[in-house]
Structures are given as C-alpha cells and as structure tokens.
Homo-oligomer: A and B are copies of this chain.
Amino acid sequence: MSECYYSPAGPRDGRITLGGAEARHVSRVMRHQRGDKIVVVDGLGTEFDVVLEAVRPNEVVGRVLAAATGRREPRHSVTLALAVLKGDKLALACEQAAELGISRFIPLKTERTIGRLSAARLERLQGVALAAMKSCTRTVLTVIEPVQDLARLASRAAEYGQALVAYEDEYESGLDNVLDRRASSLLLVVGPEGGFAPDEVRVLNSAGVKSFSLGPRRLRAETAATTVVVSAMQLLGDLGGRNAPEQP
C-alpha cells in the first residue's frame, strides 16, 4: 500500500467523499482520474478500497469496493501520557509513538514541566499524528488529547486495564516484571526532563499506577517515551513475528 487517504466521515450510501487537502492531493498531486482505485482510511480502524467516480480539485467521490477493519493495528490499545517537552521534542515523541501504534496521546502538565503547549502546538501534534498514520500505513488515527494535569490523569487511571509510570527512582521492577499481558488497554506515563517529583509519583501510585524502571541509564524524556512504547509493544507481541497478529 503506497498511499492512503483519510476520510473521518466514512462511507454514506456506499460512497466516500474526500474534501480539502485530501481531495487536492488525489486530484492535483497524484493526478488520479475517474476509474482509478485508491485506499481510504477512516482513522478508526477501517480501510476502504475505493474506485473513483468523480475527481474535482475540492471534492473527490468514490464507490466503496471493499472494507476491512483493524489491519496493521496492534491488538492492544496503548495510551502514552508524556510531560510537555520543549521545542520539537514533544512532536518527535508523539510521531514515533503514533508510528509504533499508540491509540491516544496525552500531553501532561507536571511540576517540572518547562514547555508550554499553545493551541498552535497542539494543532501541530494533530498534524503529526495524521502524517504518522499515513506514513506507517495505520488505519487508526492517534487521538491527541488536550493538556491534562497529573491529578486529572490519576483520576482516570482506573479506566485502563493497566496503568504504569516510568520512574527513575524505581530499581526493583522493569516493564517486563510489572506488565500485565492480559490487559487489553494500557496507560504508559513518562515524566519531563527533570523527572517526576516524589509527591507526583505517590499520587500516581495511590491511584493504582505502578512504577517501573527503564534501567540504570538516564534517558532523555523523548527517548524514554519511545523506549516505553517500544518495550510495551515488544512484550505484548505487537512488534511482529510469530506471536504477532495478522500481517499485511
């Protein structure tokens, strides 16, 4: 699959309509014509094989030939909550996590958070998630939540099958020691450059969020975020191989 398009509305009466940037890309950049076949995803896990019936610069309409759900998606729903980082680092971490297959990204306000998340930066994260979905041929668009504080995150921890936080003062348990392989949804929490304050970790732990160690080397926050997502996907069998689900 070389190129795919995004239509959050999905099909109506067996037809899908693309507008805006997606329509321009189909008509102007790729110069598709009536009768050509393209792939459209709804960002919720379904992809459609579509034959084009009308190609205009601002609107492209196609008839759905086939639909499939969940292709190339991990079996587990993973949410990454990451402290807001300065500059491009937040977008980088969001991009890598979206490629790796997370469902949801929560920018987190913590005691030692330095960066601020303006409306423009939040919008940029949404663009990053969309580009990542397309480049890695996912069918689910990573949902970017508004900034949350730690108390709010803690209050919602019970909504997940398991919730875990990477903590540099935890020495006993690694992710493979604490990860519950049977949980179908997972919240992974990663702190800012200066780490979580001990009080913050107590708040999380009290809400049932278990601490784990990433080992003795002190990782930069954006590296820690990617490391946590890769490790979880690896341990859950969602990084390919014989334990993995269906392949493309």
Using CB atoms and an 8 Å cutoff, list the residues of chain A in contact with chain B: 71-72, 92, 95-96, 99-101, 135-138, 171-177, 212-220, 223, 226-227, 230-231, 233-235, 237-244, 246-248
- In the complex, the 7 A-B pairs of residues with the closest C-beta atoms, listed nearest first: A174-B241, A215-B240, A213-B240, A230-B230, A72-B216, A174-B240, A136-B217
Instruction: Give the complex CA separation of A248 and B218 in angstroms.
Output: 10
Chain B residues within 8 Å of A239, by CB: 174-175, 214-215, 227, 231
21 cross-chain CB contacts under 8 A: A72-B216, A99-B217, A99-B220, A99-B223, A100-B217, A137-B216, A137-B218, A171-B240, A174-B237, A174-B240, A174-B241, A174-B242, A174-B243, A174-B244, A177-B242, A213-B247, A215-B241, A216-B248, A227-B239, A231-B234, A234-B234
Instruction: Give the complex CA separation of A172 and B243 in angstroms.
Output: 9
Instruction: Give the secondary structure class of A's interface.
Output: loop
